[in-house]
Structure 1
Amino acid sequence: MKELKDFPISQFQDALLSWFERNMRDLPWRKDRDPYKIWVSEIMLQQTQVDTVIPYFNRFMERFPSLEALAEAPEDDVLKHWEGLGYYSRARNLQTAVKEVQEQYGGKVPDEPNEIAKLKGVGPYTAGAILSIAYGKPEPAVDGNVMRVFSRIFAIQEDIQKPKTRKLFEELIRGLIPENSTSYFNQGIMELGALICRPKSPQCMFCPVIEMCQGRSLGIEQELPVKQKKKKPKLKKMVAGVVLANNMVFIRQRPETGLLAKLYEFPNLEWEADAELEISKYLYQTYDFQTETSARYEHVQHTFSHLIWDITVLELNLVGEVELVEGQLPVRLERQPFLTNAEAGFWVTLEELDRYAFPVSHQKIKKQLLEK
């Protein structure tokens, strides 16, 4: 292809590999080339920084040391060990795919592109990373980090969010990968993007391939990669009710699909005029709870890629005599037909609250409750 015409491929490979061997970080998933560990690490690293992932990876491996252990684990347990990493569909898809490997491939992670690409949640990047790092296959592993590096090296000014641009980078990398050093080559590019060719203020003077970087020679490295600006996230005013009675708290599980699927939460809703009145009315109409506000917690805010939850948090005591049974709704509510699965919550003791996986925003609410 035209981008590689007259490009010093061998010189680039040698410089990158030599630099990586001297500078590679000591990361737990690099201890061996176990495809299961590499797979878990790559899923965790999507949308998440390395330093954040390391303790999660270690805890996850301690609890699920093998593909078989993860396949057989209860989903709630998997989500609990993922708690705080966010993007929980990654964990659910990972477990689904691991079960597929257990059932269809005898517990061995496929080493062929057409097979591994069939697994739930395994896109082109993850497939390329596993195939190249674990199995030494000459497959590209192209994510935003990698596209940033190569957009600067080849001064590519196409929008990296467009599928055709990703294809361009995949073709480029296929022409650059040395067949006998695929694992180190792909990891070297990832490492270069993480340590040197960073999104802001790239450390060009320490770059092992600076002499081959066309973006640097043109003085446009700071302008690359080209990426369409994201829309501003929408602000959503929420109110959450921490309902207490007899040293127990009322929680519920989110729906099986959609945002933060199957995680646990305190009852909440979007409000317009009066947060306290609206949560009280909701609790009464939905659960027949009569409540009175006993405390107001610190405001909680959480930003997703497309929206911001701005949560007013109220502690509410149950008023009146109601028989409470741990793990159930109050007796008088058990036959209410209008409750959806997502609304039909249950009571847990404060001591047992930590057994359930909450999204980050509700972890903050839980923390305030437990530290009172």
Structure 2
Amino acid sequence: MTKAPLAPYPATRLRRLRQADWTRRLVRESVLTPADLIWSMVVHEGEGRVPVASMPGVERLSVAEAAKAAVEARALGIPAIAIFPHIDMARKDAAGSLAADPDGVISRAVRAMKDAAPEVGIMCDVALDPFTTHGHDGVLEKGRIVNDATIERLVEQALVQARAGCDILAPSDMMDGRIGVIRAALEAEGHCDTLIMSYAAKYASAFYGPYRDAIGSGKLGSGDIDNPGDKKTYQQDPANSDEALREVALDIAEGADMVMVKPGLPYLDIVRRIVEAFAMPTFAFQVSGEYAMIVAAAQNGWIDGDRAILESLGAFKRAGCAGVITYFAPKAARMLGA
């Protein structure tokens, strides 16, 4: 695009376009609406709502409460909800067996939410970490996360979710090749309309801590030979940018319909590069640590919380995101609809 040169001051006064609310709205380059939001939500196996201590304002929801939330999302104009499970530690095992339980909390939540508000899309996490005793996203053998054995388990999990009525499968494990295998399995079983939003560029980040509290995955291993203390062998190095483009290119080639960057605000440069390189529907996840920092600062009176929420979400749109997964979705949608 050819850009006209700016005339010098005073012929050019950029403040003319900022002088009134109507002019600012008229020339606004990006606009945030409730339709840009995916509501991130944790469901649990018990009854009612359980507050998450490290995420003030966020609660784990029972299946019945999740169904009510789907109705709320419809009323607010939020197009989709991403659900994550909280599993009691006593029910977990090293293999994450409950991930493929057709009567598990995720399957029950999907069915209840689709019954309550069929117009709202439901997105499910495809990963083993909420279900494993060790807290890793895959099959652990002799201190290593085994790629291909993990993919076999992920396919089982993905098919269970698709059968329950999940609209969007979101593999977040970062195993090599899992998008292609999951896509092939969906096609073979007739789930040709099931969408895949790949966590294509998921970084080994310090911003996930409150989420692990929310889903009850706890701390990873001590770093000994049997249980690595971090996820750096499968999640991306925060220092890398070109690597993200390779990851995205592979996932698109394997059949992803949409791609995601996680975390969000610290990685907007990655979002921009992906959007410009692939012109692909690209999303970002405003993760638990980002949520907790904004809420904590607002509770201490250090920032205007409502303005910070909308400003942070607007940054994703400015960077080129088609939408953003966020725990702020219902609050933001109410503010945007006011």
Q: TM-score interval w.r.t. the shorter chain?
A: under 0.3
TM-score between both structures, scaled by the size of structure 2: 0.26
TM-score between both structures, scaled by the size of structure 1: 0.24
Q: Which has the higher strand share?
A: 2
RCO higher in 1 or 2 (8 Å CA, sep ≥ 6)?
A: 2
Bigger Rg, which one = 1
